[in-house]
């Protein structure tokens, strides 16, 4: 199995962490989707990473689809619970984390790809609000629990960990650690897992 992606994408990192937690072998193929000659459209018509290309050539894209598929491949380190209500709760945490990432990535694109004159401050503020309210929801949801869902490490923790560390990576000016010490402690603990330590964004 090949994973097409970049070392700076938080969505690709999510998939890499799932691969590591589940001890699945794969080949990482680096692709710059912003380069004029990118071949990403050959496997993902949406032109985004991560994209997984399986041994028979079939491709899967969108980190949520990929992570769900990977979790079915082996019972090792089950990341999504089976019972429907629990499953939905874990997927909802993942959706919250992904939504914050979407907002953070949009802010980054707006402030790096566009000339200053073309930037839309109201759009950036709208995305920033999603990050701010998302952080509050994460902090309230986690409270003083060790893990996001039901005292077990799940895909929800991988999602939240990837979102928080992306904020550190691209928005170091945002003092989310000061505002939410429980999230800071949680990310520090997650960062010690080999799957997180081996996939630090760069
Ligand atoms: N919902 C997608 C988001 C993936 C995504 O936005 N990837 C970014 C890199 S962080 C990308 O490839 N962007 C290229 C583009 O938007 O054209 C997922 O979870 O996989």
Q: What is the structure's pLDDT at 68?
A: 98
> Which residue minimizes the CA distance to atom 16 of ligand 1?
48
- In angstroms, the Cα distances linking 87 to 169, 190, 192, 196, 202 are 29, 21, 26, 23, 31
- Which residue's C-alpha comes closest to atom 6 of ligand 1? 48
Ranges of beta strands (E only) in the chain are 2-5, 27-30, 51-53, 59-61
Sequence length of the chain is 202
| Distant-in-sequence, close-in-space partners of 106: CB < 8 Å, separation ≥ 6 | 123, 127
Percent of the chain's residues with pLDDT above 90: 99
Residues 53-89 pLDDT 10s: 999 999 999 999 999 999 999 999 999 999 999 999 9
- Output the six-digit token pair for 146: 């060790």
Q: With contact defined as beta carbons under 8 Å apart, do 89 and 149 qualify? A: yes
The residue whose C-alpha atom lies closest to atom 15 belonging to ligand 1 is 48
Q: What is the mean pLDDT of the chain?
A: 97
Residue 62 Cβ contacting ligand 1 at under 6 Å? yes
In this prediction, residue 66 carries a pLDDT of 98
What pLDDT, on the 0 to 100 scale, is given for residue 22? 98
What pLDDT, on the 0 to 100 scale, is given for residue 88? 98
Averaged pLDDT, 87-95: 98
- Name, in order, each residue with C-beta under 8 angstroms of 51's C-beta and a sequence gap of 6 or more: 3, 4, 5, 40, 43, 44, 59, 60, 61
**For the segment 131-168, what is each residue's pLDDT rounded down to a tens digit?**
999 999 999 999 999 999 999 999 999 999 999 999 99
Ligand 1 pocket residue status of 50, Cβ below 6 Å: yes
Read off the pTM: 0.98
User: What is the reported pLDDT for 118?
Assistant: 93
Average pLDDT over residues 100-104: 98
For residue 127, the CA-to-ligand 1 centroid distance in Å is 16
Position 96 scores a pLDDT of 98
Ligand 1 atom having least distance to the Cα of 61: 20
- The model's pLDDT over 29-53, given as tens digits with 9 standing for 90+, comes to 999 999 999 999 999 999 999 999 9
């Amino acid at each position: 199995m090949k994973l097409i992606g970049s070392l700076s994408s938080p969505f690709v990192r999510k998939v890499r962490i799932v691969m590591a937690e589940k001890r699945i072998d794969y080949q990482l193929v680096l692709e710059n989707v912003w380069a004029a000659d990118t071949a990403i459209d050959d496997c993902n018509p949406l032109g985004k990473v991560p994209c997984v290309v399986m041994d028979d050539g079939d491709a899967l894209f969108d980190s949520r689809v990929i992570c769900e598929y990977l979790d079915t491949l082996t019972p090792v380190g089950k990341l999504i619970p089976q019972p429907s209500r629990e499953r939905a709760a874990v997927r909802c945490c993942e959706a919250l984390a992904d939504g914050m990432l979407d907002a953070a990535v949009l802010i980054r694109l707006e402030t790096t790809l566009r000339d200053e004159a073309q930037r839309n401050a109201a759009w950036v503020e709208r995305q920033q609000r999603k990050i701010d309210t998302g952080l509050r929801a994460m902090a309230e949801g986690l409270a003083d629990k060790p893990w996001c869902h039901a005292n077990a490490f799940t895909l929800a923790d991988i999602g939240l960990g990837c979102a928080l560390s992306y904020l550190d990576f691209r928005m170091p000016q945002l003092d989310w650690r000061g505002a939410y010490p429980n999230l800071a402690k949680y990310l520090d603990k997650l960062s010690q897992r080999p799957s997180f330590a081996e996939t630090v964004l760069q």
